[in-house]
């Protein structure tokens, strides 16, 4: 992996997940709400899945898959301690160097777990290879717009206290990135859409406490490692709630769906193979380009 692709401190991510694994239940309601929206996509298929990989599910996804009749679930996480809380067969695994053989699973679910990966296209290729033909991949990632108010409050407070600002909230992908990432990784029938969770905290401090409890604090390599000014966080939090009221927070989610290629899957028709004209289906008159009678 080139230095240009190194965005996150993966060792720091693992250490933080190890640290918070025992208390991850504090943020389970948020993880469960996101997982429910992601797994709703299983209702759109009649396929029955038997061997699933729960990637970074943090004790939420594996029980949901078991409740849906999945016979065997492997719960993998970068953090060994977090993997042990996953609810399935625990495996400590780096998403950038997956230890699974090709055709190992017929379902892979990554719920809010791939956004700390440096080489996301490479990780998706490995996940596709770990799927059996016609296996299903489901993933949710925080998308652009997530924690935007916190990002702006921290930036404004830091700019006021000292020259310049440093990244304190992770960069997130845009919706338009989703389908292209799946196609690049070789998934068939790729779909990328957007969902959101609207959260509300009684205090700004409660938001920071949840981020710490989930192991989701800043791990960007470009972060400022100096001790922040003492007034930084109090000033930023005051901007989040100027009147001391509740703090609304939006979790924008990029939802990805893709299938491992298989001969039995539907394929787009060959251009020119249609036996019905579009004009006939629409009940209109077909005009050639340059036809003077063509309406303008």
**Three-class SS state of 97:** strand
For the chain, the domains span: 3-147+170-215+248-271
Quote the Cα angle for 32-36-42, to 5°.
145
In angstroms, rounded to a whole number, what is the distance separating the alpha carbons of residues 93 and 98? 6
CA-to-CA separations, 225 to 10, 109, 134, 207, in angstroms, rounded? 16, 34, 45, 22
In angstroms, rounded to a whole number, what is the distance separating the alpha carbons of residues 167 and 221? 9
What's residue 126's pLDDT? 97
What's residue 2's pLDDT? 53
- Average of per-residue pLDDT across 264-273: 65
- Average of per-residue pLDDT across 75-103: 96
Give the H/E segment covering residue 247.
Answer: strand 247-259
The yes-or-no verdict on residue 178 having pLDDT over 80 is yes
- Average of per-residue pLDDT across 140-149: 90
Neighbours of 150 (CB within 10 A): 21
| pTM, entire model | 0.86
Residue 202's pLDDT band, with cuts at 50, 70 and 90, is very high
- Average of per-residue pLDDT across 262-274: 68
**Three-class SS state of 148:** helix
More confident residue, 284 or 291: 284
Q: Do the Cβ atoms of 75 and 86 come closer than 8 Å? A: yes
In angstroms, rounded to a whole number, what is the distance separating the alpha carbons of residues 11 and 30? 25
In angstroms, rounded to a whole number, what is the distance separating the alpha carbons of residues 93 and 256? 21
The yes-or-no verdict on residue 3 having pLDDT over 70 is no
What's residue 162's pLDDT? 80
Cite the beta strand spans of 143-246 per DSSP E: 188-201
The yes-or-no verdict on residue 245 having pLDDT over 80 is no
Of 8-17, 165-174, 189-198, the poorest mean pLDDT is in: 165-174
In angstroms, rounded to a whole number, what is the distance separating the alpha carbons of residues 43 and 137? 14
Please write the tens of the pLDDT for every residue from 30-88: 999 999 999 999 998 999 999 999 999 999 999 999 999 999 999 999 999 999 999 99
The yes-or-no verdict on residue 257 having pLDDT over 90 is yes
Average pLDDT of the chain is 88
CA-to-CA separations, 296 to 278, 281, 284, in angstroms, rounded? 19, 21, 15
What's residue 267's pLDDT? 67
Q: Do the Cβ atoms of 109 and 138 come closer than 8 Å? A: yes
The yes-or-no verdict on residue 229 having pLDDT over 90 is no
Q: Do the Cβ atoms of 237 and 18 come closer than 8 Å? A: no
Give the H/E segment covering residue 142.
Answer: strand 131-142
In angstroms, rounded to a whole number, what is the distance separating the alpha carbons of residues 90 and 216? 21
CATH superfamily of 3-147+170-215+248-271: Vaccinia Virus protein VP39 (3.40.50.150)
More confident residue, 118 or 169: 118
* Burial (0-12, 13-18, 19+ Cβ within 10 Å), 27: buried
Quote the Cα angle for 154-159-165, to 5°.
70
In angstroms, rounded to a whole number, what is the distance separating the alpha carbons of residues 200 and 83? 29
């Amino acid at each position: 992996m080139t230095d240009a692709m190194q965005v996150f401190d993966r060792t720091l991510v693992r250490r933080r997940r190890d640290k918070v694994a025992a208390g991850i239940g504090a943020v389970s309601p948020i993880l469960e709400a996101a997982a429910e929206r992601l797994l709703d996509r299983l209702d759109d298929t009649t396929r029955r899945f038997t061997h699933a990989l729960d990637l970074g599910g943090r004790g939420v996804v594996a029980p949901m898959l078991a409740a849906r009749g999945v016979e065997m679930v492997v719960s993998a996480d970068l953090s060994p301690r977090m993997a042990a809380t996953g609810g399935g067969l625990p495996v400590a695994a780096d998403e950038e160097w997956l230890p699974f053989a090709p055709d190992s699973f017929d379902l892979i679910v990554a719920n809010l777990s791939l956004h700390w990966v440096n080489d996301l296209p490479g990780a998706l290729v490995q996940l596709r290879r770990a799927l059996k033909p016609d296996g299903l991949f489901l993933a949710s990632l925080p998308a652009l717009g997530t924690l935007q108010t916190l990002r702006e409050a921290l930036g404004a407070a830091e700019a006021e206290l000292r020259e310049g600002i440093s990244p304190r909230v992770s960069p997130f992908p845009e919706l338009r990135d989703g389908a292209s990432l799946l196609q690049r990784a070789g998934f068939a029938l790729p779909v990328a859409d957007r969902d959101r969770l609207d959260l509300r905290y009684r205090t700004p401090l409660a938001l920071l406490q949840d981020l710490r409890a989930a192991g989701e604090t800043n791990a960007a390599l470009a972060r400022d490692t100096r001790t922040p000014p003492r007034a930084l966080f109090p000033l930023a939090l005051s901007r989040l709630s100027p009147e001391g009221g509740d703090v609304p927070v939006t979790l924008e989610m990029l939802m990805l769906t893709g299938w491992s290629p298989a001969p039995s899957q539907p394929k787009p028709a060959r251009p020119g193979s249609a036996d019905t004209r579009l004009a006939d289906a629409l009940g209109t008159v077909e005009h050639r380009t340059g036809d003077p009678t063509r309406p303008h």
